[in-house]
């Protein structure tokens, strides 16, 4: 017999919902679109034929509804992999843990989770306004210092080389996207290797007034090579999604609307349009 998960670990609100997401198991679909910005949730659900359910708590806004007869949930996550830790654990708990017995269900449900986010390009071959699918993500955050994530030999050697190039005191982690979601949704998008950074400013080589510990950081990101691997873009969540997906057994794909290019130093004037185009593609294909 499994030991029930204590009340301080699987936290269920008075109304039966999971702690941060504020959701009951029956309020989500097994197909989930995630966005960073809470205001982007209605940008997705405005295309639904019918919205069945809406809730919000902190940065987690959820709409569940139907698009051309298919039940879809869209949830906002806010920014950063610390929020993805909460999102992925709580979504998994909703479908794979019995809230009454507090034990994992015998039968596992695999969710399909598609991130529709914004990102900055690290190469001049990734144009502003393009849609890029993260085939691989490398995390520069420390989330995976706390989970038993398995890494292949190739992943180990690449992340060790990156650690040495950056001179940081911990080893980054590397995880792939779901192959089946790539072929279903991202077959015509730019294939990319995404760097997930633990911040938007210095960790992405941006200096306003606080300065940078290394003026060379952006060049290290841009110029890092291992065989034919190089980084195409950066953002703040993808590696967290992919590693939690690997740990929990869910299919995950991160799609990026490229709104900045750090080589050409441009920012898209039509960012909303680029994101909207990505939303429509995902809804049609998911
Ligand atoms: O547009 P979203 O999905 O929030 O994604 C990107 O934009 C935010 C930074 O502006 C970070 O969350 C980054 O990952
Ligand atoms: O440059 C960018 C653009 C969007 N999101 C990021 O994290 N970085």
Predicted pLDDT of residue 267: 97
Contact 192, 186 (CB under 8 A): no
Instruction: Read off the pLDDT of each residue in 174-191 and give the average, rounded to a whole number.
Output: 98
For atom 9 of ligand 1, the residue with the nearest CA is 200
Q: Is the ipTM value over 0.90, yes or no?
A: yes
pLDDT in tens, 147-164: 999 999 999 999 999 999
Global pTM exceeds 0.90: yes
Mean pLDDT of 176-202: 98
Residue nearest to atom 1 of ligand 2 (CA): 120
Minimum-distance ligand 1 atom for the alpha carbon of 115: 3
Q: Which domains does the chain have, with CATH numbers?
A: 25-285 (3.40.50.1580)
| Under 8 Å between Cβ of 235 and 119 | yes
What percent of the chain shows pLDDT beyond 70? 100
Which atom of ligand 2 is nearest the CA belonging to 236?
7
User: By C-alpha distance, which of 79, 80, 75, 81 is closest to 62?
Assistant: 75
pLDDT of residue 2: 79
pLDDT in tens, 204-225: 999 999 999 999 999 999 999 9
Mutate to test the pocket of ligand 1, among 34, 39, 41, 236 (most ligand atoms within 8 A of CB): 236
Q: Tens digit of pLDDT for each residue in 79-116?
A: 999 999 999 999 999 999 999 999 999 999 999 999 99
Question: Best of 34, 37, 41, 79 to mutate for ligand 1, by most ligand atoms within 8 A of CB?
Answer: 79
The tens digit of pLDDT for each residue in 43-59 reads 999 999 999 999 999 99
* pLDDT category of residue 1 using cuts at 50, 70 and 90: low
CA of 215 to the centre of ligand 1 (A): 23
CA 106 to chain centre: 27
Residues within 6 Å of ligand 2 by CB: 118-120, 200, 204, 234-236, 259-260
- Look-up: residue for tokens 């292949």? 152
What is the pLDDT of the chain when averaged over all its residues?
98
Q: Residue 237 Cα, ligand 1 centroid: separation in angstroms?
A: 8
**What is the radius of gyration, based on Cα positions, of the chain?**
19
> Whose C-alpha lies nearest to ligand 1, atom 10?
200
Which protein residues touch ligand 1 with a CB less than 6 Å away? 35-37, 79, 117-118, 200, 235-237
Ligand 2 geometric centre to CA of 259 (Å): 7
Q: Output the pLDDT for position 250.
A: 98
């Amino acid at each position: 017999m499994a030991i029930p998960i204590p009340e301080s670990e699987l936290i269920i609100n008075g109304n039966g919902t999971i702690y941060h997401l504020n959701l009951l198991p029956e309020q989500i679909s097994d197909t989930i679109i995630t966005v960073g910005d809470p205001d982007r949730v209605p940008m997705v659900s405005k295309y639904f034929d019918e919205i069945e359910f809406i809730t919000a708590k902190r940065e987690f806004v959820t709409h569940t509804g139907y698009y051309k007869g298919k039940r879809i949930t869209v949830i906002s996550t806010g920014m950063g992999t610390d929020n993805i830790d909460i999102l992925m654990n709580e979504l998994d708990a909703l479908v794979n843990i019995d809230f009454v017995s507090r034990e994992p269900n015998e039968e596992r449900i695999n969710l399909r989770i598609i991130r529709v986010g914004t990102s900055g390009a690290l190469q001049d071959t990734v144009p502003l306004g393009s849609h890029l699918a993260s085939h691989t993500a490398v995390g520069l955050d420390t989330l995976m210092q706390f989970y038993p994530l398995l890494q292949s030999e190739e992943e180990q050697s690449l992340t060790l080389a990156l650690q040495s190039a950056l001179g940081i005191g911990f080893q980054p982690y590397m995880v792939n996207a779901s192959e089946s979601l790539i072929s279903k949704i991202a077959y015509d998008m730019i294939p990319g290797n995404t760097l997930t950074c633990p911040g938007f400013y210095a960790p992405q080589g941006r200096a306003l007034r606080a300065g940078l510990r290394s003026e060379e950081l952006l060049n290290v990101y841009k110029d890092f090579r291992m065989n034919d691997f190089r980084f195409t873009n950066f953002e703040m969540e993808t590696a967290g999604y992919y590693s939690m997906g690997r740990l929990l057994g869910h299919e995950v794909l991160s799609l990026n609307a490229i709104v900045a290019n750090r080589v050409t130093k441009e920012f898209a004037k039509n960012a909303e349009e680029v994101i909207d185009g990505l939303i429509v593609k995902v809804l049609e294909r998911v």
